[in-house]
Amino acid sequence: MQKIMVCIKRVVDYNVRIRVKADSSGVMLDGVKMSVNPFDEIALEEALRIKERGSNIEVLAVSIGVADTQQQLRTALAMGADRAILVQTDAPVESLTAAQVFLALAKKENPDLIFLGKQAIDDDANQTGQMLAAIWERPQATYASKVEINGDKAAVTREVDAGLETIEVDLPAVITVDLRLNEPRYVKLPDIMKAKKKPLDVTSLDALGISAGQFLKTVKTEPPAQRQKGIMVKDVPELVGVLKKKGLI
Amino acid sequence: MNKVLIIGEHDGKALNPATSKCVTCANTIPDADITIAVFGADTAKVAAQAAAVAGVKAVLRVDRPENEHPLAAIFAPQVAALAADYSHIFGPSTSFGKDLMPRVAALLGVAQVSDLMAVENAYRFRRPIYAGNAIITVEADASRKLVATVRVASFEAAATGGSAAIESKALTVALPSHTRYVGARSGSTDRPDLQTASRVVSGGRALGSAENFKMLFSLADKIGAAVGASRAAVDAGYAPNEMQVGQTGKIISPEMYIAVGISGAIQHLTGIKDARTIVAINKDAEAPIFEVADVGLVGDLFKIVPELEGMIGT
């Protein structure tokens, strides 16, 4: 194992309450706090732990997005990534395009492993890792809750609807991570200072020979239907009465 | 005509009800001609079940030993090969479908619409983003194949009573050997499946321990319910991961959802907003769960749950 690539997305922070614009053209993003997608943070943490257990492993953090995405890559460098690459674009990037960009980077960098979060908390698409694995023609292990590297193989325990499933994949492979894989470390101030000196290269879709495809057009963005607040009951007999009346028990 | 191919989910013995919900979704596409494909080592049994789903025109069986376990890297090239004859390729938005379908889409060189919750026309759909805090309408390129996962909580299961023709398909697709199934640990119980149960009792961190969760199992058994949990309860180790309900767990739509000691974080509410009736039991009258609950009761869950169980069925 020599190199691990971790794909990171800049997203609206987990704690921000999302509001839809009145003209249905999208969600309000002006002045909103942006962060590393929480699942990608877990992905990076796992790569760093593998690096710390092994010897001489390089962890490369990569992202696609606007110029300010450098902030999230600096966070990744502060966490412990060795190097970062930003593929800078102002265009909206669909999952398949993202996968094509990561493939282009993978072909240049030849990582043994690529980690991503299982989904980004903005579009909730849950696609990029699987698409990347498909076009890289390599294995995918999605929703990882445990990763064990054994030489040129990885045993990955996956969170699936029925419980836990373990698969073995040959490296190189794509692993997408779930919530319970690890708890990402906190970044300390000296690490932030150190991160400023680590290399962060900026490239473009053009330089990689990729044109951002647009297959899906978002024509409208609306708030969800709201549930109405119901009634409060004072005790269990009253609760049972209401449920009986509704025919639920 | 819109030819829809649905990838059936099953465990070798039974067709997962999520498949039937995909059929209901596909039926809302104008002029839909629906085929279900089942992949497995021996799909005779599940193919018969798929053929009985009302509204299905044909069932394709793709049996080969490599298909014994649903590995996306193995299934995807076969699905892509079958896709040639179809305009739409759908799978359920379950861990099976979410793993498989994007790999299929990428092999076909097309985009995927995830978590399709409503069909406006054959290439125009609604889906949730930001944990359901916004709903977008997306339009896909009608000149290409459309791959989608269907948000199963948005659709009822289709009726049975159909009698589709079953055909065995021999696909000469080369399969990779780089991905191997090792084993599974399933929390299978006699209780109804959480994803499709009509009643669910769910617990949060306020339960305080795995031991205390037994109280919910007892109540659930009394009313024939499945048991769920909030992310906080799963993270704390009170309940296994497969019980998690919410944005990153299961999205469910039971007739009745009883939330016990769950405060109602937005990510949890995402998983239950399609429940018909939400009952909330919490000691904190200010808990956000009461904003969405149809019936709320403020109080000590350790007193309320046993009392509720005692009063039901008496």
Whether B18 is in a domain gets the answer: yes
CA-CA distance, A227 to B199, in Å (whole number)?
19
Residue B314 has a pLDDT of: 55
Whether B181 is in a domain gets the answer: no
Residue B191 has a pLDDT of: 84
* pTM, rounded to two decimals: 0.94
Nearest C-alpha in B relative to A177: B248
* Interface contact flag, A239 B279, Cβ < 8 Å: yes
Q: Are residues B14 and B143 in the same domain?
A: yes
Whether B182 is in a domain gets the answer: no
Q: Are residues B123 and B70 in the same domain?
A: yes
CA angle A180, B97, A97 (to 5 degrees): 85
Instruction: Kindly report the CATH number assigned to the domain that includes residue B225.
Output: 3.40.50.1220
Whether B158 is in a domain gets the answer: yes
Whether B98 is in a domain gets the answer: yes
The residue ranking higher by pLDDT, B216 or A246, is B216
Nearest C-alpha in B relative to A124: B129
Among the three residues B129, B151, B168, which one is the final residue of a domain in this structure?
A: B168
* Interface contact flag, A248 B102, Cβ < 8 Å: no
Structure tokens, A7: 């794909």
The ranges assigned to domains in chain A are 3-245
* Interface contact flag, B138 A217, Cβ < 8 Å: yes
Instruction: Kindly report the CATH number assigned to the domain that includes residue B75.
Output: 3.40.50.620
Whether B175 is in a domain gets the answer: no
- Mean pLDDT is lowest, of A118-132, A152-166, B180-194, B250-264, for B180-194
- What residues in B contact A227, CB-CB < 8 Å? 273, 278, 291-292, 294
Q: Are residues B206 and B154 in the same domain?
A: no
Give residue B264's pLDDT band: very low, low, confident or very high (50, 70, 90): very high
Residue B175 has a pLDDT of: 96
Q: Which of A103, A130, A150, A159 to mutate to test the interface with B (most CBs of B within 10 A)?
A: A130
| Burial group, residue A135, by CB count within 10 angstroms (0-12, 13-18, 19+) | middle
> What are the angstrom distances between the C-alpha of A164 and each of A93, A156, B180?
32, 10, 15
Does the pLDDT at position B257 exceed 80? yes
Residue B188 has a pLDDT of: 63
Task: Note the CATH architecture for domain A3-245.
Answer: 3-Layer(aba) Sandwich (3.40)
Give residue B185's pLDDT band: very low, low, confident or very high (50, 70, 90): confident
Whether B209 is in a domain gets the answer: yes
pLDDT means per 10 residues, chain A with 249 residues, are 97 94 95 97 98 94 98 98 98 96 98 98 97 98 97 96 95 96 95 96 97 92 91 96 91
Alpha helices by DSSP H, listed for chain B, are 17-27, 44-51, 72-82, 95-108, 210-223, 231-235, 266-269, 289-292, 301-311
Q: Are residues B258 and B148 in the same domain?
A: no
Residue A214 has a pLDDT of: 87
Residue A227 has a pLDDT of: 86
Whether B186 is in a domain gets the answer: no
The Cα of A85 is separated from the nearest Cα of chain B by a number of Å equal to 24
Total domain count, chain B: 2
- The percent of residues above 90 in pLDDT, for chain B, comes to 93
- pLDDT by residue (tens digit) across A84-101? 999 999 999 999 999 999
Does the pLDDT at position B201 exceed 90? yes
Range of the structural domain that residue B291 is part of: 199-311
Average pLDDT for residues B200-206, to the nearest whole number?
A: 97
Q: Are residues B131 and B42 in the same domain?
A: yes
Average pLDDT score, chain B = 95
* Interface contact flag, B71 A159, Cβ < 8 Å: no
Q: What ipTM does this complex have?
A: 0.95
